[in-house]
Amino acid sequence: MNDGNPADVLLVEDNPGDVRLTREAFEEGQIENTLHVVNDGVKALDFIHQRGEYEGAPQPDIVLLDLNLPRKNGEEVLEAMRADDELEHIPVIVLTSSEAEEDVLRSYELCANAYLTKPVDPDEFIEAVWSFERFWLSVVRLPGTVE
């Protein structure tokens, strides 16, 4: 991030393979930011609100959100975040396997900051995570950062 401090990135993903690839990308790319992972929409909101088992967890600086999640789907998580004055400023990047135009449109209607379709090829997936990191965590100034 621009202030020199590592960002707290929340990955909301229920596919263990995609979690592993994302972790790999952070490690291989020597991404200095902290990656937190939850595997469903209810846990995502608990983490973001610092409730229950996530009491004391850092509020994420940015959220990588899958759409197809158990318990609460990604759209419900995004909608809940955007309806909350304390959370609406957190950038949310939808990172999903869906290429459906209605998912893209709905995500932007719910004020997602970006929509990325997960590449099927593992190397391309890792490159997509590096690209995300370079742009969102190195170039963009996130809320709460200090010059």
Q: Strands across the sheet with 8-12, in order?
A: 34-38, 8-12, 62-65, 92-96, 114-117
pLDDT at residue 54 in the model: 95
The DSSP code for 29 is: T
Residue 83 belongs to domain spanning: 8-139
Q: Write down the residue that tokens 């998912």 correspond to.
A: 103
Query: Is 3 inside a domain boundary?
Result: no
Query: Is 89 inside a domain boundary?
Result: yes
Domain count, the chain: 1
Listed as ranges, residues in the chain with pLDDT below 70 are 1-4, 30-31, 137, 141-147
DSSP 77-110: HHHHHHT-TTTTTS-EEEEES---HHHHHHHHHT
Q: Give the domain CATH number at 78.
A: 3.40.50.2300
Query: Is 103 inside a domain boundary?
Result: yes
Structure tokens at 142: 């996130």
pLDDT at residue 14 in the model: 94
